[in-house]
């Protein structure tokens, strides 16, 4: 059946291209097809003057905004680059493809193609300069040029182009320095309420505003280059960021500051008929990152493939405005995690699948920004208020924020009696979306990979052997409640025939901590489970929750040698979450981890980094 579906989609794509090129030859006339230029940046929320930021120095992007359309509610699908770029290149949510864990490289079906392949088939000259980071393999044939020298100037005479220039000056790494001075005055920084007010925090914020100013200069250079080439009147120009950021608790997290992106689109007069509104206007339409690819095809006159999950928001194939944008994040580098979110025009709902863990799990790369260890030191010294401490504490299973009244998302309304209708509506919207796209987060990463052996994760999730998502949702919901009354139900989950359900039973018992003591026997029995994810989760519950290392340490030590890196990573994270005194017998084995993400955690545990991990504290 999968093969039949694949052939059908291939035929449909070929038919779409054929119909495009047969429309009276119109699609072959360069005058009828716009050039399209994407100028992208990295890791920045809308810290631009045209978005109302009074401290920003962004004259080029502000001028572009006056000539184009500013989308005020554009959102990355994921708050970190590789999963979001996977979404962008395919027009499909990475969490539907199984490419959402950072740098996972999981394969996708050949029916899921890069948007540039459709453009090339339609006659466009496609260049990418130069970042890819798609979290999966995309064929070289997707681009005419893909390098740091790729340029639309190399196309044939009269050939329309699509070109991307990825500007990296505002990347997170720009905050890893400790400058003696900054152009931006640190005293003028308006700190968000979740950040501590220290000289280090202010300096790093100022440094980042300096990076955004440099970004603006580079955007201006690309716009002038287009003008000087005499192509501005034939080219639709997009500017957008790959996700929000980049100061601590923004990038990697599903709040407004991690997902809200700037998006400006400029239409020349020749193609104003494709624009949704006049130059100099602003749109409050909800736009998702997954929508960029179908919108690009729509503007280019190329049929949007049926298997793209995004929706065009401009051009002849534009859909009705969205009611919601959907957001996802799973493992970021060396720390497994999973949370999902949905946002409408006013509210954001976040569902945390491991709420017993803090957002502030130690990430090697995040802690390279001096503001992060400075903030952690303030927390450890007891100098943080509730909003500033929340990053280092266990999370709520559900979060609900009113973005109009609470733009920094400080007050969680999930338990507010007056907000229960909104909570239930947003909860249902998220659940329906997850079922619709066959969200993969309900399986551990190792289990997701194991079940897809010999196929792809996308195809496995739609096969006759696909997991029962409704049951996994029920199990994960129970696991995240952290209620002692659920103990018998969690034990029942631990004995289920489905290894995915058993996994959530073990996670739920871990989350109960010492309240899971009556289930110690069942957890020890689960150490012999035939599924490695279940074994590691049961060992984690015993070691980290019940502080009973007997049997658990042996299981985790053995798992450090598992052929699946994600099993090894889960095991080393379990050891890192345990009390130091309990794990001394296995530290020699920890020291042997020298490769991949497990080695990062091992290095941290062995004290080779300067930072100490934030300890989980009870609320």
Strands 260-266 and 35-41: unpaired
pLDDT of 610 above 50: no
**pLDDT of amino acid 13:** 40
Residue appearing with tokens 């929750």 = 545
Domain 486-605 CATH assignment equals 1.25.10.10: yes
Task: Report the chain's C-alpha Rg in angstroms.
Answer: 25
**pLDDT of amino acid 100:** 98
Q: What is the DSSP string of 521-576?
A: HHHHHHTT-SSHHHHHHHHHIIIIIS---TTHHHHHHHHTT-SSHHHHHHHHHHHH
Alpha-carbon distance of 603 to 609, in angstroms, equals 7
Supply φ then ψ for residue 116, to 5 degrees.
-65, -25
544 assigned to active site: no
pLDDT of 16 above 50: no
Q: Tell me where in the chain the CATH 1.25.10.10 domain(s) lie.
A: 486-605
Q: Return the H-helix or E-strand segment holding 351.
A: strand 347-352
**pLDDT of amino acid 266:** 99
* Annotated active-site residue in 81, 95, 384, 441: 81
Q: What is the DSSP string of 212-256?
A: HHHHHHHHHHHHHHHHHTT-GGGEEEEEEESS---SSSBTBS-SH
How large is the average pLDDT for residues 566-572?
Answer: 99
The pTM (predicted TM-score) of the whole model is 0.93
**pLDDT of amino acid 494:** 99
Picking from 8-12, 458-462, 495-499, which range would have the lowest pLDDT averaged per residue? 8-12
Domain 2-177+218-320 CATH assignment equals 3.30.200.20: no
How large is the average pLDDT for residues 118-146?
Answer: 98
pLDDT of 87 above 60: yes
Q: What is the pLDDT of residues 24-66, one digit of tens each?
A: 333 345 448 999 999 999 999 999 999 999 999 999 999 999 9
Alpha-carbon distance of 24 to 30, in angstroms, equals 14
Q: Which are the contacts of 275, defined by CB distance < 8 A and separation ≥ 6?
A: 69, 265, 267, 314
Q: Tell me where in the chain the CATH 3.40.720.10 domain(s) lie.
A: 2-177+218-320
Q: What is the pLDDT of residues 393-447, one digit of tens each?
A: 999 999 999 999 999 999 999 999 999 999 999 999 999 999 999 999 999 999 9
Alpha-carbon distance of 253 to 435, in angstroms, equals 22
**pLDDT of amino acid 609:** 37
Token couple for 426: 């947003």
pLDDT of 546 above 70: yes
Alpha-carbon distance of 204 to 176, in angstroms, equals 8
Q: How many Cβ atoms sit within 10 Å of the Cβ of residue 196?
A: 22
Q: What is the pLDDT of residues 339-376, one digit of tens each?
A: 999 999 999 999 999 999 999 999 999 999 999 999 99
């Amino acid at each position: 059946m999968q093969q039949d579906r694949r052939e059908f989609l291939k035929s449909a794509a070929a038919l779409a291209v054929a119909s495009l090129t047969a429309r009276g030859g119109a699609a072959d006339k360069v005058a009828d097809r716009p050039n399209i230029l994407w100028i992208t940046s990295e890791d920045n929320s809308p810290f631009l003057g045209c978005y109302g930021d009074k401290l920003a120095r962004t004259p080029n992007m502000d001028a572009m905004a006056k000539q184009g359309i500013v989308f005020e509610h554009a959102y990355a699908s994921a708050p970190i680059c590789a999963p979001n770029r996977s979404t962008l290149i395919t027009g499909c949510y990475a969490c539907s493809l199984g490419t959402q864990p950072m740098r996972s490289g999981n394969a996708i079906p050949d029916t899921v193609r890069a948007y540039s392949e459709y453009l090339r088939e339609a006659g466009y000259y496609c260049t990418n300069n130069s970042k890819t980071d798609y979290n999966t393999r995309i064929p070289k044939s997707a681009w005419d040029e893909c390098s740091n020298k790729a340029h639309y100037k190399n196309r044939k005479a009269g050939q329309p182009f699509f070109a991307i220039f990825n500007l990296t000056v505002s990347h997170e790494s720009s905050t890893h320095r400790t400058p003696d001075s900054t152009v931006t005055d640190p005293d003028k920084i308006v700190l968000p309420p979740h950040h501590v007010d220290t000289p280090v925090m202010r300096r790093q914020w100022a440094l980042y505003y300096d990076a955004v100013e440099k970004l603006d200069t580079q955007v201006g250079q690309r716009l002038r280059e287009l003008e000087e080439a005499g192509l501005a009147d034939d080219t639709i120009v997009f500017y957008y960021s790959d996700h929000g950021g980049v100061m601590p608790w923004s990038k990697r997290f599903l709040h407004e500051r991690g997902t809200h992106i700037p998006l400006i689109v400029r239409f020349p007069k020749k193609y104003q008929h494709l624009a949704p509104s006049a130059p100099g206007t602003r749109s409050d339409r909800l736009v998702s990152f997954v929508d960029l690819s179908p919108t690009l095809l729509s503007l280019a006159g190329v049929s949007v493939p049926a298997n793209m999950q995004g929706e065009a928001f401009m051009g002849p194939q534009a859909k009705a405005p969205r009611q919601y944008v959907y957001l996802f994040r799973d493992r970021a580098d060396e720390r497994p995690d999973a949370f999902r979110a949905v946002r409408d025009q006013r509210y954001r709902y976040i569902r945390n699948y491991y709420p017993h863990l803090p957002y502030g799990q130690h990430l090697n790369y995040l802690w390279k920004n001096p503001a992060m260890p400075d903030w952690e030191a303030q927390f450890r010294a007891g100098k943080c208020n509730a909003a500033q401490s929340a990053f280092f504490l266990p999370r709520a299973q559900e979060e609900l924020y009113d973005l109009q009244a609470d733009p920094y998302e400080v007050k969680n309304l999930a338990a507010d009696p007056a907000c229960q209708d909104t909570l239930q509506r947003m909860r249902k919207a998220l659940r329906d979306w997850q079922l619709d796209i066959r969200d993969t987060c309900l399986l551990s990463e190792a289990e997701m990979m194991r079940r897809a052996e010999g196929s792809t994760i996308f195809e496995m999730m739609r096969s006759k052997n696909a997991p029962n998502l409704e049951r996994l949702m029920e199990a994960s919901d129970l696991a995240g409640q952290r209620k002692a009354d659920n103990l018998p139900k969690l034990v029942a989950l631990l004995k289920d025939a489905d290894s995915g359900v058993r996994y959530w039973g073990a996670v739920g018992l871990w989350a109960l901590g010492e309240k899971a003591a009556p289930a110690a026997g069942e957890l020890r029995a689960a150490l012999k489970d035939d599924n490695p994810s279940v074994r590691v989760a049961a060992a984690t519950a015993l070691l980290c929750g019940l502080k009973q290392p007997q049997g658990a340490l042996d299981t985790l030590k053995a798992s450090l040698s598992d052929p699946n890196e994600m099993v090894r990573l889960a095991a080393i994270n379990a050891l890192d979450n345990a009390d130091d005194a309990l794990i001394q017998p296995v530290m020699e084995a920890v020291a042997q981890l020298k490769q991949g993400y497990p080695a990062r955690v091992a290095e941290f545990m062995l004290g080779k980094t300067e930072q100490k991990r934030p300890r989980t504290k009870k609320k």
